[in-house]
Amino acid sequence: MADVTLTNVRKQFGTFVALENLDIEIKSGEFVALLGPSGCGKSTTLRMLAGLEFPTSGDISIDGRVVNDVAPGKRDIAMVFQSYALYPHMSVAENIAYPLKKRGVSAADRKVAVQKAAELLQLEPLLDRKPKQLSGGQQQRVALGRALVREPKVFLLDEPLSNLDAKLRSYMRAELIELHRRLGKTMIYVTHDQLEAMTMANRIAVMHGGKLQQFDTPDAVYNRPANRFVASFIGTPSMNQLEGQLDGALFHVAGHSIPLDRTRFADDLGTGDYALGVRPEFVAIGDGELPAKIRLVENTGHEQIVTLELTDGTRLLARTDAARRLDVGQNVQIGFHPDAIHLFAPGEEGPRLNKNDAASVIPMRSR
Amino acid sequence: MQRSMLQGVIVNLVTWTLVLLIAFPLLWMIITSVKPQTELFRIPPTWFPETITFEHYWRLLTETPFLTYFRNSVVLATTTTIFVVALGTLGAYSLVRFKYRGRETLAMLVLFTYLLPSVVLIIPLYLMMVAIGLSNTLVSLILAHTTFALPYALWLLRSFMEGVPEDLESAALVDGASRMGAFRDIILPQLLPGIISTALFTFILSWNEYLYALVLVNSDSVAPLTTGVMSMLISAFNIEWSLLMAASVMMSLPLIVVFAFLQSYLTSGFGAGGVKG
Ligand SMILES: Nc1ncnc2c1ncn2[C@@H]1O[C@H](COP(=O)(O)OP(=O)(O)O)[C@@H](O)[C@H]1O
Ligand SMILES: [Mg+2]
């Protein structure tokens, strides 16, 4: 068990800045997800933790020891690769035993450890096979087995489930949560799938363009997103963000005004351009003053996602009961739950301007 | 239906004609090597020898330095192959895995030497060998053949190396292997088909090479088969056909044996080189 810290880490490839001002403190035993769109620097971060890349500046420490110059094999970490990276010419048993072999564990002890890992991951009948003879899910489990066989301090996982089909993925998600609970080891998990991050992690580090956007609990990144990027990245469908003007307690959008509870937002906001954010579940159809037209209704069976268009052409989404009857083309009045409104500064990463204690957590049913 | 059958017959006919054309000299070589001297120049020639004799083989092995040449060739081709495979593998690894200035240029330059006709390189090479005191030694031939085979080997191995995922090596490093350890445990086994085809290519090249051997080496004790046999059996006045054919058969044997065993690797290797390199 160990805590992992990145202090002011920067990583450049040539002139390209892949990571900037990265400060992350991970507590011992925590399950942390690095979440962000493809190319945001998640893998680079993980590879630096593993020692496969070196920070251009800044420090990385594991268990209180700065490991900037420590070789991967000496960091007491294990890593699961997106491609699994199983050694094709070795059997499953040899694959799992390899890290032990490299550490000089005796053949007899290796056998015992491999047996234990195989039991844990239900790999016993497959031990003599070659990786090529395994299904994707089985290969995945072998990769996990190779990682946990020598009981490292920290587990690093780079999109380990992304090559599995949807059903197996949700199964393995549950398995991983269970595994983390049982082992109690620090786990750092890279994913671009917010559902994985939300369901598995104790805390989520949301990244974008090489910068950390927010590092907080799933509840916080969902309900109190630090900025517009986090707000749009977390949640499916994502949060509506309407660009408009703030004037006192009124937010002007599409030729209409939405009254705001100014006590919920920072006190020093001047008149000007802002973005109003509201999640689809807090958009009420038929209850409000904003006129809109229904453009599309998608019924998933237990809910409906409704695409609405304001008079100026701006589109937004609402989430309603599946039972409700709504017709495409219908004109409706919509409103936003006042306690669920976020205000953001303009720009792609415009910060959220709510007072942070004003958490926008409202039970669905009270709409 | 009819048409395609006819087509099949024609294609087969053409193919077999070609095969026979190519194989005929080999066949004739074998036949000649077992004919007694008296039957050799008979007109019309006999297709199948009336009496089969191995006297030429026996004479070759007992009365001539054939075995010395053979040993030289084995040493030469084997050592060259080991050199080329070792250097080529490490070089290809560097070209694929490490980023440094001039990496691509280097790879191109290496190939450039391959584009020059060997006649252009041979005189400077000879002078160099004389200067470092290696003229007329097997070592000079080994070095020459290595420089000759390395460029192609490097490119062939490079395309194989590119097929080995970097993640495998990263995984080995994380699992506790050193860089050399990861290279030995993980990369080399993955590279085996490439190494085998490179080795075959180099061995054949070195075994059959004539020009460098002719220029760089001129004493019997260090001559390989190609030049040794030629100078021994072909003079301005006379060609010892029976002995020459027997020698040719024995020269071809090692190649045929090696080929038969590793043929599938060789074709896959040339394929990989062709597509990517
Ligand atoms: N070895 C490298 N050389 C140059 N650029 C790289 C290298 N590795 C990653 N990058 C770049 O750094 C950025 C972040 O990459 P990565 O960490 O792999 O993103 P992801 O979040 O998808 O895992 C990308 O734009 C990628 O192109
Ligand atoms: Mg990645």
Measure CB to CB from residue A73 to each of B167, B175, B190 and give the nearest one: B175
| Residues B109, B158 share a domain | yes
Is A233 domain-assigned? no
pLDDT of residue B41: 80
| Residues B212, B109 share a domain | yes
Is A366 domain-assigned? no
pLDDT class for B266, splitting at 50, 70, 90? low
Length of chain A measured in residues: 367
| Residues B206, B168 share a domain | yes
Of the residues A198, A223, A248, the one at which a domain ends: A223
Residues of B in contact with A87 (CB under 8 A): 168, 171-172, 185-186
Is B72 domain-assigned? yes
Is B229 domain-assigned? yes
The domain in which residue B253 lies consists of 64-276
pLDDT class for A367, splitting at 50, 70, 90? very low
Is B268 domain-assigned? yes
Is B59 domain-assigned? no
Measure the CA–CA gap between A288 and A254, rounded to whole angstroms.
Answer: 14
Residues of A in contact with B171 (CB under 8 A): 79, 81, 85, 87, 146
Percentage of residues in chain B having pLDDT higher than 90: 48
- Ligand nearest A159 Cα, by number? 2
Closest CA to B143 of B221, B98, B200, B87: B87
Closest CA to A315 of A249, A244, A241, A230: A241
Closest CA to A222 of A212, A235, A211: A235
| Residues A264, A214 share a domain | no
Each residue's pLDDT tens digit, B15-55? 999 999 999 988 889 888 888 888 878 778 777 888 888 88
Q: Is residue B3 pLDDT above 90, yes or no?
A: no
- Ligand nearest A34 Cα, by number? 1
Each residue's pLDDT tens digit, B187-200? 999 998 899 889 98
pLDDT class for B273, splitting at 50, 70, 90? very low
Contact A42 CB / ligand 1 (< 6 Å) = yes
| Residues B251, B207 share a domain | yes
| Residues B101, B39 share a domain | no
| Residues B175, B39 share a domain | no
Contact A18 CB / ligand 1 (< 6 Å) = yes
Nearest residue on chain B to A149, judged by CA atoms?
B175
Query: Comparing A275-279, A297-301, B252-256, which segment has the lowest mean pLDDT?
Result: B252-256
Domain count, chain A: 2
pLDDT class for B1, splitting at 50, 70, 90? low
Each residue's pLDDT tens digit, A243-252? 999 998 999 9
Q: Is residue B157 pLDDT above 50, yes or no?
A: yes
Contact A73 CB / ligand 1 (< 6 Å) = no
Question: Has the ipTM of the complex gone over 0.90?
Answer: no
Measure CB to CB from residue B165 to each of A72, A85, A98 and give the nearest one: A85
| Residues A168, A63 share a domain | yes
| Residues B40, B81 share a domain | no
Each residue's pLDDT tens digit, B234-260? 776 778 888 889 999 999 988 888 888
Of the residues A170, A189, A223, the one at which a domain ends: A223
| Residues A179, A136 share a domain | yes
Contact B175 A50 (CB under 8 A): no
A251 or A168, which is more confident: A251
Each residue's pLDDT tens digit, B67-99? 999 999 999 999 999 999 999 999 999 999 888
Contact A83 B186 (CB under 8 A): no
Q: Is residue B105 pLDDT above 60, yes or no?
A: yes
| Residues A279, A152 share a domain | no
Domain count, chain B: 2
Each residue's pLDDT tens digit, A113-139? 999 999 988 899 999 999 999 999 999
Q: CA of A3 to nearest chain B CA: how many angstroms apart? A: 18
Q: Measured between CB atoms, does A301 come within 8 Å of chain B? A: no
Burial class (CB in 10 A: 0-12, 13-18, 19+), A12: middle
Cβ neighbours of residue B188 closer than 8 Å, sequence gap 6 or more? B89, B195
The domain in which residue A273 lies consists of 238-356
Residues of A in contact with B185 (CB under 8 A): 87, 98
Mean pLDDT, to the nearest integer, of A36-65? 95
Contact A50 B174 (CB under 8 A): yes
Cβ contact A49:A77 at 8 Å: yes
Is A232 domain-assigned? no
User: Which pair of tokens denotes residue B22?
Assistant: 């190519």
| Residues B126, B32 share a domain | no
pLDDT of residue A365: 44
CATH code for the domain in which residue B79 is found:
1.10.3720.10
Residues of A in contact with B181 (CB under 8 A): 102
Contact A52 B173 (CB under 8 A): yes
State the distance from the centre of ligand 2 to the C-alpha of A46, rounded, in angstroms. Answer: 9
CATH code for the domain in which residue A183 is found:
3.40.50.300
* Max CA separation in chain B (angstroms): 75
Is B148 domain-assigned? yes
CATH code for the domain in which residue A350 is found:
2.40.50.140
pLDDT of residue A35: 97
| Residues A92, A183 share a domain | yes
Mean pLDDT, to the nearest integer, of A219-224? 94
Is A63 domain-assigned? yes
pLDDT of residue A366: 40
Mean pLDDT, to the nearest integer, of A35-59? 96
Is A38 domain-assigned? yes
- Backbone φ and ψ for A90, nearest 5 degrees, come out as -110, 150
| Residues A297, A211 share a domain | no
**From atom 26 of ligand 1, which residue's Cα is the shortest distance away?**
A39
| Residues B141, B28 share a domain | no
The total of other beta-carbon atoms located within 10 Å of residue A145's CB is 27
Is B58 domain-assigned? no
**From atom 3 of ligand 1, which residue's Cα is the shortest distance away?**
A13
In chain A, which ranges are E strands? 4-13, 16-26, 31-35, 57-62, 65-66, 77-80, 154-158, 186-191, 203-208, 211-216, 240-247, 250-253, 256-259, 272-278, 283-299, 303-310, 315-321, 331-336, 342-344
Contact A51 B173 (CB under 8 A): yes
For residue A190, give the ligand 1 atom closest to its CA: 23
Q: CA of A147 to nearest chain B CA: how many angstroms apart? A: 8
| Residues B244, B198 share a domain | yes
State the distance from the centre of ligand 2 to the C-alpha of A82, rounded, in angstroms. Answer: 8
Q: Is residue A267 pLDDT above 70, yes or no?
A: yes
Contact A39 CB / ligand 1 (< 6 Å) = yes
**From atom 23 of ligand 1, which residue's Cα is the shortest distance away?**
A43
| Residues A246, A206 share a domain | no
Angle between helices A92-101 and A107-120 (to 10 degrees): 130
Contact B176 A88 (CB under 8 A): no
Measure the CA–CA gap between B21 and A191, rounded to whole angstroms.
Answer: 63
Of the residues A223, A253, A281, the one at which a domain ends: A223
| Residues A193, A91 share a domain | yes
Angle between helices B241-276 and B55-63 (to 10 degrees): 90
pLDDT of residue B117: 82
| Residues A251, A136 share a domain | no
| Residues B268, B166 share a domain | yes
Interface test with B, best of A15, A54, A75, A87 (most B CBs within 10 A): A87
| Residues A50, A182 share a domain | yes
Is B47 domain-assigned? yes
pLDDT of residue A364: 47
State the distance from the centre of ligand 2 to the C-alpha of A42, rounded, in angstroms. Answer: 6
Measure CB to CB from residue A73 to each of B173, B186, B189 and give the nearest one: B173
| Residues A140, A13 share a domain | yes
Mean pLDDT of chain A: 92
Mean pLDDT, to the nearest integer, of B125-153? 91
pLDDT class for B267, splitting at 50, 70, 90? low
Nearest residue on chain A to B167, judged by CA atoms?
A85
CA-based radius of gyration for chain B = 23
